[in-house]
Amino acid sequence: MKRVYNFAAGPSALPIEVLKKASDEMLSYGDAGMSVMEMSHRSASFKNILQEAKSLYKELMNVPDNYEILFLQGGASTQFSMIPLNLLSKSNKCDFMITGSWAKKAYQEAKRYGEAKVIASSEDKTFTYIPKVDSKDFTLDADFFHICVNNTIYGTRFKPDGLPETGNVPLIGDMSSNILSEVYDVSKFGLIYAGAQKNMGPAGVTAVIIRKDLIGHAKDFTPIMLNYKTHVDSDSCYNTPPCYSIYVCKLVYEWVKANGGVKGMEAINKEKSQKLYNFIDNSKLFKGTVVPEDRSLMNVPFITGSDELDALFVKESKKSGMENLKGHRSVGGMRASIYNAMPMAGIDTLIDFMKKFETENA
């Protein structure tokens, strides 16, 4: 069977061990005699899967006890609405840093419900850097401060030690594309959310880590399905949860744990991304698009400077067993998304191909 190196930004590659385990358990999960897809979400088997997923995620992320973990639907995009609906409960004000398209979408949605302020934006330079901010400019009584921790499209990130200092204002982090990739201190956040389909599992589930004091203050008109309290009170089973996606996330958590936890992932991710960035920095043909100090470990955009060569690169790389290297339509060029499931051999294959392409085309 042929497997390619899949550099897609999302949905993206899953660890081969996870796919094999899912395949082994497809016809019968344990002795249940049925697949997880066919199971009642009220069954003992599924309850176990959900509790294991939750406790593994809690362990991997080192989530303190004063937080709840939820597995929700509607993708990360639904969080753009849930966060303002649930958290704009006192001053009705919130702060945003606009570091890419996702951050901007979150801001635009929050503006519909409250007074949303842009503290800083890097749109002036097509989001190629993380703006420096001064906490003097933050809204003192804001109900929350939102950042997109890793910018999937543009390839920048807030480093774990470079988060804005928001004091008592809850910091909200969209970690859809860098969850479980590097150690972040959950206690610095009021809420962390991540759509699973980048670095955590299949599409269809969004994991939310929310501090308990932020639950239960939703606006009166909040739809019941968009109220965090609904899902906390029913342990993510108010209605049918995305059972199979949660199950595959559980398998991914087991895989991450068996491979050194988030710390282990971080070490290998730094090695993988450094190798690729080093090659790009020393290349005569390829150029990175982002300032070095804010580079993502997960999404690596690069260009040749020629649209024709970029197109040729994408076309030829397919023939060498690499898929989805075409850059996002708003940036152009190429983007290699190198999530946890991308092995070092995939990076080596890409670099070897880039070397060859450079020799032939520079």
Ligand X SMILES: *Cc1c(COP(=O)(O)O)cnc(C)c1O
Chain residue at closest Cβ approach to ligand X = 75
CB of 16 to ligand X, least distance (A): 23
3-state secondary structure of 146: strand
In DSSP notation, 59-100 reads: HHHT--TTEEEEEESSHHHHHHHHHHHHH--SS-EEEEEE-S
What mask of x and - would describe binding to ligand X in positions 185 to 204, judged by CB under 6 A? ----------x--x------
Q: Is 174 in the site for ligand X (CB under 6 A)?
A: yes
Query: Catalytic: 255?
Result: no
Integer Cα distance of 228 and 82 in angstroms: 8
- Can you tell me which of 46, 102, 127, 144 binds ligand X, judged by CB under 6 A? 102
Residue 11: is the preceding peptide bond cis (ω within 30°)? yes
Interface region with ligand X, contact rule CB under 6 A, candidates 20-28, 139-147, 170-178, 255-263 = 170-178
DSSP 295: B
Q: How many CA atoms are closer than 13 Å to the CA of 190, on its beta-carbon side?
A: 23
CA distances from 225 to 30, 74, 277, 292 (A): 32, 10, 43, 41
Q: What are phi and psi of 338, to 5 degrees?
A: -120, 70
What mask of x and - would describe binding to ligand X in positions 251 to 290, judged by CB under 6 A? ----------------------------------------
Q: Is 242 in the site for ligand X (CB under 6 A)?
A: no
Interface region with ligand X, contact rule CB under 6 A, candidates 69-77, 126-134, 322-330, 338-346 = 69-77
Between 102 and 228, name the residue whose CB sits nearer to ligand X.
102
R_g of the chain computed on alpha carbons: 21
Query: Catalytic: 104?
Result: no
Which residue of the set 58, 93, 198, 272 is catalytic? Answer: 198
Between 242 and 333, name the residue whose CB sits nearer to ligand X.
242
> How far separated are the first and last CA of the chain, in Å rounded?
35
Query: Catalytic: 102?
Result: yes
Q: Is 109 in the site for ligand X (CB under 6 A)?
A: no
Give the CA-trace dihedral at 207, 200, 181, 148, to 10 degrees: -50
Between 116 and 285, name the residue whose CB sits nearer to ligand X.
116
Which residue of the set 102, 272, 310, 326 is catalytic? Answer: 102
Residues that bind ligand X (CB under 6 A): 10, 75-77, 102, 148, 152, 174, 176-177, 195, 198
Active-site residues: which are they? 102, 174, 198
